């Protein structure tokens, strides 16, 4: 096989170089058409084990106490979500999902949660929250990995912080600060 003439080598290199440039130049701004939404809502978490509980342990290791700090305990939740911290404030939706204690020391939990909106402005829309964090921190941060309806293709983050806690009835109000970009 004969060697390519020098002019052919130059043409091949130019074509390859041009191809690489074409594939590395962005087609446009990645955030064209995206909206930003920042809001705070409040989860009302009842974990007493009574019939009206909104958080329940559903499985754990045999012979171990199923609680928030026991490795391997899986919980489901269906918390009411409101505009303000008062349980009588305007309903926004439900916080429905699962979380599991994922560290041997009982500190970290993995959360997979949907904020399902039922209010008039966003009815049927959802925000999908997922991540792993230290549940003992005052403020916990998770990623927003998707959304539907008014929040289609959402990405961003949420923080959860304890607003109030009544230990006698195992009732917590948790502020959820949402910062997302979406279509």
Q: Is 103 a member of any domain?
A: yes
Q: Is 16 a member of any domain?
A: no
Tens digit of pLDDT for each residue in 146-165? Answer: 999 999 999 999 999 999 99
Domain span at residue 95 reads 33-182
Q: Is 55 a member of any domain?
A: yes
Lowest-pLDDT range of 60-64, 81-85, 91-95, 100-104? 60-64
pTM of the predicted model over 0.85:
no
Q: Is 7 a member of any domain?
A: no
CATH classification of the domain holding 37: 2.40.480.10
Q: Is 14 a member of any domain?
A: no
Q: Is 123 a member of any domain?
A: yes
Tens digit of pLDDT for each residue in 25-72? Answer: 343 455 568 999 999 999 999 998 777 899 999 999 888 888 889 999
How many domains does the structure of the chain reveal?
1
Count other Cβ atoms within 10 Å, centred on residue 4. Answer: 11
Q: Is 77 a member of any domain?
A: yes
Which structure tokens are listed for 118? 């039922």
Q: In whole angstroms, what is the distance from residue 121 CA to residue 60 CA?
A: 39
Q: Is 23 a member of any domain?
A: no
Residue 27 has, within 13 A of its CA and on its CB side, a CA count of 3
């Amino acid at each position: 096989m004969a060697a390519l003439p020098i002019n052919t080598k130059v043409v091949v290199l130019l074509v390859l170089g041009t191809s690489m440039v074409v594939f590395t130049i962005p087609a446009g701004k990645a955030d064209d058409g995206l909206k930003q939404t920042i809001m705070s809502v409040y989860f009302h978490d009842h974990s007493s084990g009574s019939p009206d509980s909104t958080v329940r342990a559903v499985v754990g290791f045999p012979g171990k106490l199923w609680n928030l700090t026991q490795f391997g305990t899986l919980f489901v939740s269906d918390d009411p979500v409101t505009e303000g911290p008062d349980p009588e404030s305007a309903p926004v939706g439900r916080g429905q999902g699962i979380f599991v204690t994922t560290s041997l020391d009982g500190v970290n939990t993995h959360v997979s949660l949907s904020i399902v909106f039922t209010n008039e402005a966003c009815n049927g829309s959802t925000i999908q929250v997922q991540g792993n964090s230290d549940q003992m921190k005052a403020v916990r941060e998770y990623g927003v990995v998707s959304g539907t309806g008014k929040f289609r293709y959402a990405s961003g983050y949420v923080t959860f912080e304890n607003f109030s806690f009544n230990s006698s009835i195992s009732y917590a109000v948790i502020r959820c600060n949402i910062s997302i970009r979406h279509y």
